[in-house]
Structure 1
Amino acid sequence: MSGRAVFVHDEALEAYGFGGDHPFNPLRVRMTIELCESLGLMEGHRFVSPEPATDEDLTTVHSLSYVRSVQKAGRDEAPLSELLDYGIGTQDNPIFPQMHEACAHVVGAVIGACRLVVGGEAEHALCVSGGLHHALRSKASGFCVYNDAGAAIARLKEEHPGIRVAYVDTDAHHGDGVQWMFYDDPDVLTFSMHESGRYLFPGTGGVEEKGRDGGTGYSLNVPLQPFTQDPSFIECFEETLPEALRRFRPDLILSQNGCDAHALDPLTHLSATTRVYEHVPRRVHELAHELCEGRWVAIGGGGYDIWRVVPRAWAALWAAVSHQEMPETMPGSWIAKWGGQSPVALPNLTRDAAADYPPIGRAAQIEERNRRTVAELKRKVLPLIEEGPRP
């Protein structure tokens, strides 16, 4: 099975978007797919078309009343006043036609990806349309209507009693929805490294959020200071995630790979480059092989510089998932196609040049603040994870 990777996708997944000038633009998915193809990264690999999630899938983590409200919203069958309490029809989560169908398709894709890997039909799987980690039990939040990762984990727990799932989230925004869904569950480790909630939506994700009851210690948060650059980001990641996963010993790693921590992202204040977006999936890949026989499902997430950042970051993610090296040069055909639509010049290289992102003046102070956060997590939370079963 070694090396077998699948890309879970079909064009119906590109219907999940809010239209107009909304920052969550599904064009980023299309551009990523075409970049992977133009770079030759899809040769010998196949797309797997998913089935939409059923109501039964969705109600593993969402209330039935909420699912029905999403369905009515997409068919224009409910007044806005009835929907706002569910977070539907807000500026962040505007209503669009067939909203339920588009969102359920994303959830079904991530459930399907997890089933392929846990069932042994693939070693790794990628679904870049997934990663809608803010959706709550009965509320849309932060561009997320249904929580695909939450539903996938819940379904796996039903189908494979006792399975241990590690959810690893490196989006710039805290993975709050997934955390709260499994906050008291010691069989689900949620790890989120993000910009501090003091400065960024959703305002949560402090070190003190460590789980409750039997799940105490199984929610790990690494809130980073604004303008954190690559060296500190990678240092914090390496100081926390490997130890947490080695203690927990998951049966599957599900990683959310939002790329909105990039310095060019318009919605956040972190200062990562493509170096982070090669390092993180490569290390998660290595840890999956070390700890759970390679069982790894990767999903997308945030990322709002859709022209210069998202396609390159997620192409690098697919390269890691599929055991390939990332080419150095962007394909001229891809630049020619998309350059005319882009409001900014498209990069000619797949990796950012280090010289374009020199250390900022406050780098040392930011690094020290982040080290103190990591030290607190390692002192107060990591030791609470009980050693998981060994093979």
Structure 2
Amino acid sequence: MRPMKLIPRRSGGSTAHAKDASDAASTRGPARVGRRTKDLTKRLAVGDVAVIDHIDIDRVAADALVAARPVAVLNAARSTSGRYPNAGPSILLEAGVILVDDLGPAVMDLREGAAVTIDGGRVVVDGQTVAEGVRQTEATVEASLAAAREGLSTEIERFAENTMSYLRRERDLLLDGVGVPNVRTVFEGRHVLIVVRGYHYREDLAILRPYILDNRPVLIGVDGGADAILDAGYKLDMIVGDMDSVSDQALASGAEIVVHAYRDGNAPGLERVRALGVEPVVFPATGTSEDIAMLLADDKGAELIVAVGTHATLVEFLDKGRAGMASTFLTRLRVGGKLVDAKGVSRLYRTRISNTQLALLSLAGVAAVVAALWSTNVGQTFFGLVAARFDDLVSGIGRLFGG
């Protein structure tokens, strides 16, 4: 392999000389192996080495990895394949996480907890090189993204073809609501908040707290979004999805469960729900679980649908890596009159109140109370007594020091 510059772990105020020193050092940590990145992140600890097989690391996966604070990520696949300009690798490097790419399937055979040494692009265990790949830097990632941008037109054409194919298959569902199951949750005339575990979903859900308390919307969690609702302290009304990333706690919370099935009736998550003693509603449909959540709320008479963490842009659709994401585009057209996309609201609205402003606000409040008291006879008597007590205190201190 040709030598390349290694990416250092970033720290505030680091100099070029310090970075070069960091480049020369190898990195060690215990291996945590998982073929599904979203499952692996739940058991990662600070300082671990995450071993994944994830082509085109997307933003959601990268954010989850960064939150777990591993020392490095070893990817059996290519973190950017060139299909589209994905943001995941840049997020990892920006957070100071070492990323070694294209290590091949052998790296997935690492023993759980094995002491791994990362030396450049080599993965070493017990002094033996078990895999070798490309250690990514800002320069290599940017080069990959530039190449991916050039081929994006192909993905746009494929997306358009998938959209038309979905419309032909699901026109009855989209246009007339044929196939929408009956549910016990009441939607008629109510607001509905749908939470998907997407970009900035935690921050957006926190910002929407006043809206939730004032309007009491129907709260729907799409797979892992159900846990986000519970973590925020709210009561779930419904869970929609294939049940691959939602916790048993959420499934047993008493919320109505709608299992997303394939068109042929096969529902991979059905047995898991039934094993918990819950009989779910089954909704066979092509597309994504967030789509059927929106279609269900719309068909049952929801007045307003507020979406958090859902997918809205082309890159977000491609991040999902599924042709079925074309359904999201048409679903949004179908429910567009009711849909309010709250994704990213946390970046739009941030309260910025300085300590000085808080102090001035407090002083203004105290001044208003004093003025109100002074305008009454009782208040004037009170301030007269306080002034007399203060004079006594000052006189006593004077006599003490004077004596």
Give the TM-score taking structure 2 as reference length: 0.28
> Which of the pair has the greater relative contact order for Cα pairs under 8 Å at 6+ separation?
1
Larger relative helix fraction: 2
Give the TM-score taking structure 1 as reference length: 0.28
Larger-Rg structure: 2
Larger relative strand fraction: 2
